[in-house]
Amino acid sequence: MKRKLHLFSLLFLAAFLLAPVRTMAQVTIGDYTYTFSGDDATITASSLTSGDIVIPTTVSYNGKTYNVTAISFSSTLFKGAPTSIKGESIKSIVGNTTQYDLPLCSQFTNCVSIDFPQLVLLKRCSLLFDDPVITSIYFPELKNIDACQNLFRNLSALSSIRLPKLVTIKKCIGVIYELPTLQVLDIPELTSIDGNDAGDNSNVFAELGLQTFNAPKLQRVFCKWFLSHSKTTVVNLSNGCELATSGMLSSPDASVSSITVNGATKISNDHAFITYGLTTLEKISLPDVEELFDFSLGTMCTALKEFNAPKLKKLVDTQFMPYTPCPNLTKVDIHNMEELANSQLFYDSPITSLTLRGNLKADANSRINLKTYPTVVTITDEGTVNDIPASAFANVKGGRFVVPKGKAALYTQKWNLNTGKTMVYAPVDLKKTTAGTLYASGSITKADDSFTYGGTVYNNQYDFSHAMTEAECKNPSVLSDNDLGFTPTLSSLTVQNNTNALAGYNFYYASAYADSPTQAKVGDLTLTALPSDNAGTLQGFGTAAAQLNKGVSRAMGGFLFRGNSASIDEVYLPYTPSAVSLTTNLLQAGGGVTVKSRSGSNYDFYWHPGNAAYAAGFYECDNTMIPEYRASLSFPKTWSSNAKQFRLIFEDGETTGIESIVLPSDNARTADPEAWYTLLGTRLPAKPATAGVYIHGGRKVVVK
């Protein structure tokens, strides 16, 4: 019996499914035509054309009262020009499946209000357009706008739109569009303007008088011409918002001088972002953007002066300022940039300063173009240093790179920087605290000398002839020697020549020592000026080529130097690819360790520049600390059999009058710190009784 009942049920279901589908009956009651389903009635047509239209909340049919909750129309509902429309119970308005801009009314010439307090859905329709009278729109329950066209368009007096529960806009054209007087747009719950790609939406928000666009929950925007041709200066989106747009914020109103987009972290598919700013747009800020993909910015923005994207990490298929130059663009902040892929930056913009991360990646199809102004490029120390093809910086005409301490050779070689055009500066310790006329010993420290990366040692050598102070080296208005003679084309920019931080300084190495053949107990130490051999020409924006000299390195040894300034602690020196080569230098670079003369086979001396207590000269080391930035004199004991002092002979004719004191001792013992000596180095048997100046404990002492 159960099997028969089951078979009967299946036959009944099949008959029901195969029965002809009947079209829902449409019934005209009064001014409206309805269809009915359950307890609800849907309006499909109306005979009303003008006046104040009030849609009924209920309708009775066949003894039953229905709630009027929807409008579904395949042709214009009100074929006229009503002065107001009110539908208190309407929850959805749906238009034709093939005509997305089907209008609710034929025309709006004098409509003062449109009121749907329970409306939740707008789909495939046009609601309000070309109306010069209406001033505000408020749909408190509207959540979804789907496939609509010209929804609120060309409403010249409209100042306020409030849609407090709107969540999604999908596949729409001209939703809130051509509203030149709009000042209030309330969309606090909007989360997406969505579609399969940017082309699914267009002009969703565009040509607006709105100055600040607030959408605090908006996470995704797929839309063409988003906020284009508008007065909008500030866009506030949800943190992490993704923008896949084309033409966003392009052709801003002439009143717009700056544009800031907050919250967006990724912008893609934007072939024209903030373009055609012409002569008014001066500043663009993207404070939260981390990635730009398939992106173009700055075309026809001739007034643009500043671009800021401090969190930007990645550029892919991106063009900054393409096709037409931004001749006023001087300030750019992309200091967190980590990767460039198939991207072009800056073209003919006079960028004055630029900060790049030291771990930057760039492929062979990417270019950083700095051809208009001698830009100061500062590289931050991030630990990792990647190989960058020469093409990436091939269009850097001049200027200078300022690199982390000790890493000049590393960046020059791994980033393929052309030292014939641009200069690569790094801070170098060079300490002199005495008066300019007094000599100091010096050397390149270990930290400044080289850096080992990936198992390779990158040796630095520095050209002392192009030294700069830190302040001038980092100042883009100060020209380095490769750019001397450059005149900016931008009238707001001025430049000045640098002041050589080591101008007037003399540097010497100890090329020879020998006991004097004519004077007993006297030796001669020969000091030779450090050579300034040419390593190549150097010309960036300069009107004439400068000379790049071979550089000083730690391997060369130490040096004596003096200058015209009262003190010096650090200078910025350019890297040069060739090092000075010395046959003999008896001055050794300080090792940061104590040195004891005669502990081995050498005599070792430290330099004292001289003061009230000490005579200037070399003093024999007795467990003396020689800092890395200082130098010590060292030569074999076999070179001197009797010298108790030696003279400094400068091959360039420098006259010093310095006669260095050698504390006398034999080869078996070190100098006696309690002994007394004359100024000529003669040891006395005891403390002298005769008044005068003597040497005691390495100091000049006055005996009265």
State the average pLDDT over residues 462-485. Answer: 98
Q: Which residue has the higher pLDDT, 413 or 683?
A: 413
Bridge partner list, 70: 42, 92
Q: Where are the alpha helices (DSSP H) in 460-599?
A: 470-473
Instruction: Give, in degrees to the nearest 5, the angle at Cα 524 between 522 and 529.
Output: 155
User: In which band, very low, low, confident or very high, does the pLDDT at 240 lie, cut at 50, 70 and 90?
Assistant: very high
Confidence of residue 8 (pLDDT cuts 50, 70, 90): very low
What whole-number distance in Å separates Cα of residue 362 and Cα of residue 668?
Answer: 63
- What pLDDT is attached to residue 269? 72
Q: What percent of the chain stands above pLDDT 90?
A: 71
The tokens describing 607, both together, are 């330099």
Confidence band, pLDDT 50/70/90 cuts, at residue 694: confident
pLDDT tens digits, one per residue of 663-672: 444 333 344 5
pLDDT digits (tens, 9 = 90+) for 334-373: 999 999 999 999 988 999 999 999 999 999 999 999 999 9
Query: Phi-psi bin for 634: left (phi > 0), alpha (psi -120 to 50), beta?
Result: beta
Domains of the chain: 25-176 (3.80.10.10), 410-671 (no CATH), 672-704 (no CATH)
- CB contact at 8 A, 134 and 112: yes
Question: How many Cβ atoms from other residues are within 10 Å of residue 272's Cβ?
Answer: 22
Contact 634, 601 (CB under 8 A): no
Mean pLDDT of the chain: 89
Q: Other C-beta atoms within 10 Å of 657: how many?
A: 7
- Contact by Cβ (8 Å): 617, 661: yes
What's the pLDDT score for residue 441?
Answer: 95
Enter the pTM of the model. 0.85
Which tops the pLDDT comparison, 558 or 653? 558
pLDDT at 102: 85
Dist. CA 131–CA 694, nearest whole Å: 105
Token pair listed for 164? 């407090």
Q: Give 126-138 pLDDT, tens digit per residue.
A: 999 999 999 999 9
Average pLDDT over residues 434-446: 90
Mean pLDDT of 437-441: 89
What are the Cα distances from residue 13, in Å, to 10, 19, 265, 344, 505? 5, 10, 55, 67, 105
User: Parallel, antiparallel, or unpaired: how do β-strands 27-29 and 32-37 relate?
Assistant: antiparallel
Q: How far is CA 157 from the centre of its chain?
A: 43
In angstroms, the Cα distances linking 419 to 224, 463, 500, 666 are: 45, 12, 19, 52
On the question of pLDDT at 426 being above 80, the answer is yes
Q: Cβ(298)–Cβ(320) under 8 Å?
A: yes
What is d(CA 92, CA 123) in angstroms, rounded to the nearest whole number? 8
pLDDT at 2: 42
